[in-house]
Amino acid sequence: MVSPYCTFCGIVSGRLPSRIRYQDDNILAFHNQLDWVPTMLLVVPRRHVSQQELWTSGDLLAAMGKLAVRLGEESCPNGFRVLSNFGSDGLQTQPHGHLHIIGGAPLGLYLRQRGPYLH
């Protein structure tokens, strides 16, 4: 199912522009419009699913993970991250399930090692 209000569904359908890096019958990978680090790619299923549905899908997530690792190794030979955001506290901004591939520069720590949230 394609959602008419979903940015990623718009990219999958070709209604919105993107720089596609990979595509097959089930998956699309494209460059993120954000440019915080040299490599920022997104891997999405062609079918609209939530993050939770994606992460419990089994075969789809496995195929997307394999692609993410391949693209990360090709784009960032010194290392990269594959990640997903869940919910507002996790900074999820798109309802369409997806993986981020980021790298091409030293990425630093996720959070401060000490502080009010880490003991």
Active site residues per annotation: 98
DSSP state of 20: E
Name the residue ranges covered by the structural domains of the chain.
Answer: 7-103
Task: Indicate whether 90 pLDDT > 90.
Answer: no
Other Cβ atoms less than 10 A from the Cβ of 6: the count is 18
Question: Which CATH number among 3.30.428.10, 3.40.50.150, 3.40.1160.10, 1.10.10.1100 corresponds to the domain 7-103?
Answer: 3.30.428.10
Alpha carbon 114 to chain centroid distance?
Answer: 28
The 10s digit of each residue's pLDDT in 8-67 is 999 999 999 999 999 999 999 999 988 888 999 999 999 999 999 999 988 999 999 999
pTM for the model stands at 0.86
The 10s digit of each residue's pLDDT in 63-80 is 999 999 999 999 999 999
Exposed (0-12), middle (13-18) or buried (19+): which is 28, by Cβ within 10 Å? buried
Task: Indicate whether 119 pLDDT > 50.
Answer: no
What is the rounded distance in angstroms from the CA atom of residue 35 to the CA atom of residue 50?
24
Which residues, including other chains, have CB under 8 Å from residue 15's CB and lie 6 or more apart? none
Phi, psi of 18 (to 5 degrees): -160, 160
